[in-house]
């Protein structure tokens, strides 16, 4: 019986270890373009050039919202999210101009990557000395 229980636990743990982490962590919001001219273009290539190392290599998703926080999908404007976010003035109904949008990207967690914190014994010793053991 113990062998059966251990086998079930091992199989469950092995299966869980093979399931990829599907959580999404979001970057900060970015707004580099204004909707003057032809539209509002928050493209991935331009954002990466302006904000190096702030966006993961392969974003899983993109969110876009107006600068006041209204989600792009609820505005009714036509936009494209293939290579970032692009709202083209000439594609809008009634000759309206695109609003000013901000974007953020969904990246595999953790994002940004967690860096280990290194401390010397001289930095840690005073903190440990003040700890009380319960």
C-alpha torsion angle, residues 10, 13, 14, 18 (rounded to 10): 170
Residues of the chain above pLDDT 70, percent: 69
Residues of the chain above pLDDT 90, percent: 57
pLDDT of amino acid 75? 93
pLDDT digits (tens, 9 = 90+) for 65-122: 999 999 999 999 999 988 999 999 999 999 899 999 999 999 999 988 876 666 666 6
Residues 6+ apart with CB under 8 A from 81: 62, 64
């Amino acid at each position: 019986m113990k062998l059966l229980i251990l086998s079930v636990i091992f199989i469950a743990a092995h299966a869980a270890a093979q399931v990829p982490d599907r959580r999404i962590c979001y970057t900060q919001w970015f707004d580099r373009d204004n909707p003057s001219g032809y539209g509002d273009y928050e493209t991935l290539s331009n954002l990466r050039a302006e904000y190096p190392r702030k966006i993961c290599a392969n974003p899983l998703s993109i969110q876009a919202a107006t600068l006041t926080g209204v989600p792009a999908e609820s505005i009714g404007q036509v936009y494209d999210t293939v290579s970032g976010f692009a709202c083209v003035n000439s594609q809008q109904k009634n000759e309206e101009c695109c609003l000013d949008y901000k974007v953020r990207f969904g990246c595999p967690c953790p994002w940004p990557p967690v860096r280990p914190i290194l401390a010397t014994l001289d930095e840690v010793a005073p903190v440990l000395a003040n700890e009380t053991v319960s």
